C-alpha cells in the first residue's frame, strides 16, 4: 500500500481531528479564543452541555462571562485603535474602556463614534477621571480592577465638561485627542477613524473624479513643481477627506510644549459657541490655517460644516445610509455618517473574525460567512457580542 510521508500523515490526522472535533474540544477552543484562558472543569462541563444541546451561542456567552474576555481579548483588540503606532502595548485609557463597556452592555456599537458616552470605574481607591492625565485608567489596570464588574456608563459631557453637542463617542475621548488631535491639521483624526472603524486607509478610497473645492490652502497644487502629482495623486484623497474633516475644525489637543513636549498631560480643547480663535477670528482652530501660503487660493475653513462627497463615485460601495442627509455640522453628525455605513459594520466583523479565528478570511466560504455575520450584526441592533458569538461558532472546529 502507498504510504503517506510521515509529516503529511500527521497533518492529515490533525486536520481530520479538527474537522470532527467533539463538544469538549469545541468548548475548549471557544473558551480559549474568546477569553484567552482555559476554562475550569465546571465551566467546561457547562459549555459542553450547551454545545451538545445545539446551543452554541449559550456556550460562547459562558466564555464571554469570563473577566479575561474584557481584560485581555477586548483590550488587546481595541488598544491599537487608540494610538498612531497601532500597538497593543499601551495602557488602558478612556477610549478602550468605553469600547469595552459598550460591548459588555450590548449597546448599539455604532454609537461608539458619536454618542455622549464614556465609561469609568466605580471601584474604590482609584484616582478620579482627569482631563489632563490617564491615571484613573492606569490604576484600574495596575490594580487588577475588574473591567466586567466596575465599569459604569456616564455621559461624557458630565465627566469631561465638553458641551454635550461637542461629544462624539471615543472620537472625543482624551486618548483619541492625545493621539490624533495633537498638532497637525486634524486630518489624522479622520484618517485613523477611517482605518480603525471602516478598515480603509486613504489609498483605498482614492478617487480623482470628485470636486476639489474644499481642499485647504496647505496642500500644494504643484508638489515639486509638477501639477500632475496633485491631479493624479493628492487630489484623490483630499477631495473626499477635507470636506469631511471640516467637522473637527473646533477641536485641538492642548499642552505645554516646553514643559511637556510629548503632550503626556495635555487635554482636549473645543471652541464653544462665542469663543473666537485669535488667529482665525472664528471658532475654527488655527491649525486649519497652517501653511496658508502654500496655495493661497485654496479653501479657507470658516466653520465645522461638512459634506460627504464619497456618496458619489466609486466610494458609493461603502454603503452609506440613505436615511441620513450626507451633510451636516460638527463631529457627531459626521461620525454618525461613518458609523451608519455598511463599511463600518463589515469592518467590525472582519476585526472580530481575525481575533477569534486567528486568521484573515481565506476563501469564498469565509467571505460568505462574513456577509451572514454582518447581517446578523445589523439584525441584533448592532450588538458586537453577537459578532463574537457567530464567529466563535464558525471557527469552533478549526
What are the tens digits of pLDDT across the range 61-81?
Answer: 999 999 999 999 999 999 999
Q: What is the pLDDT of residue 20?
A: 56
Question: What's the Cα-to-Cα distance from 284 to each of 167, 185, 210, 240, 304, rounded to whole Å?
Answer: 17, 11, 25, 20, 8
Quick one: pLDDT band at residue 21, thresholds 50, 70, 90? confident
Grade residue 14 by pLDDT with cuts at 50, 70 and 90.
very low
Of 169, 192, 197, the residue nearest 182 (C-alpha): 192
In 284-303, which positions are buried (b, 16+ CB within 10 angstroms) versus exposed (e)?
bbebbbeeeeebeebbebee
pLDDT in tens, 244-288: 999 999 999 999 999 999 999 999 999 999 999 999 999 999 999
pLDDT tens track for 110-163: 999 999 999 999 999 999 999 999 999 999 999 999 999 999 999 999 999 999
Model pLDDT for residues 168-179, shown as the tens digit of each residue: 999 999 999 999
The rounded percent of the chain whose pLDDT value lies above 70 is 95
Instruction: Yes or no: say if 312 and 210 are a contact pair by the CB < 8 Å rule.
Output: yes
Confidence at residue 13, expressed as pLDDT on a 0 to 100 scale: 36
d(CA 152, CA 321): 31
Amino acid at each position: 500500500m502507498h504510504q503517506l510521508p510521515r509529516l503529511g500523515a500527521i497533518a492529515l490526522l490533525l486536520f481530520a481531528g479538527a474537522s470532527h472535533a467533539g463538544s469538549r474540544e469545541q468548548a475548549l477552543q471557544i473558551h480559549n479564543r474568546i477569553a484567552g484562558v482555559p476554562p475550569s472543569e465546571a465551566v467546561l462541563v457547562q459549555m459542553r452541555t450547551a454545545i451538545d444541546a445545539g446551543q452554541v451561542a449559550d456556550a460562547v456567552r459562558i466564555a464571554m462571562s469570563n473577566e479575561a474576555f474584557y481584560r485581555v481579548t477586548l483590550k488587546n483588540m481595541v488598544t491599537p485603535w487608540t494610538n498612531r503606532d497601532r500597538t497593543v502595548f499601551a495602557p488602558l485609557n478612556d477610549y478602550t474602556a468605553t469600547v469595552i463597556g459598550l460591548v459588555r452592555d450590548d449597546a448599539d456599537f455604532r454609537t461608539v463614534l458619536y454618542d455622549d458616552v464614556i465609561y469609568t470605574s466605580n471601584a474604590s481607591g482609584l484616582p478620579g477621571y482627569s482631563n489632563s492625565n490617564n491615571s484613573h485608567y492606569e490604576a484600574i489596570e495596575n490594580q487588577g480592577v475588574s473591567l466586567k464588574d466596575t465599569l459604569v456608563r456616564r455621559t461624557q459631557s458630565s465627566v469631561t465638561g465638553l458641551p454635550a453637542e461637542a461629544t462624539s463617542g471615543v472620537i472625543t475621548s482624551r486618548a483619541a485627542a492625545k493621539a490624533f488631535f495633537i498638532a497637525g491639521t486634524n486630518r489624522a483624526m479622520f484618517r485613523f477613524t477611517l482605518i480603525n472603524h471602516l478598515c480603509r486607509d486613504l489609498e483605498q478610497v482614492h478617487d480623482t473624479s470628485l470636486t476639489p473645492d474644499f481642499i485647504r490652502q496647505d496642500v500644494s497644487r504643484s508638489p515639486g513643481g509638477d501639477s500632475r502629482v496633485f491631479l493624479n495623486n493628492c487630489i484623490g484623497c483630499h477631495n473626499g477627506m477635507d470636506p469631511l474633516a471640516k467637522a473637527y475644525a473646533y477641536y485641538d489637543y492642548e499642552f505645554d510644549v516646553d514643559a511637556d513636549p510629548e503632550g503626556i498631560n495635555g487635554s482636549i480643547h473645543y471652541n464653544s459657541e462665542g469663543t473666537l480663535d485669535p488667529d482665525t477670528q472664528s471658532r475654527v482652530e488655527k491649525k486649519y490655517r497652517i501653511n496658508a501660503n502654500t496655495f493661497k487660493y485654496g479653501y479657507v475653513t470658516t466653520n465645522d460644516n461638512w459634506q460627504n462627497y464619497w456618496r458619489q463615485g466609486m466610494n458609493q460601495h461603502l454603503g452609506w445610509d440613505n436615511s441620513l442627509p450626507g451633510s451636516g455640522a460638527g463631529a457627531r453628525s459626521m461620525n454618525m455618517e461613518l458609523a451608519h455605513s455598511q463599511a463600518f459594520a463589515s469592518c467590525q466583523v472582519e476585526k472580530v473574525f481575525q481575533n477569534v479565528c486567528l486568521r484573515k478570511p481565506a476563501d469564498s466560504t469565509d467571505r460568505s460567512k462574513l456577509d451572514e455575520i454582518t447581517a446578523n450584526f445589523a439584525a441584533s441592533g448592532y450588538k458586537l457580542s453577537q459578532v463574537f458569538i457567530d464567529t466563535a461558532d464558525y471557527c469552533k472546529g478549526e
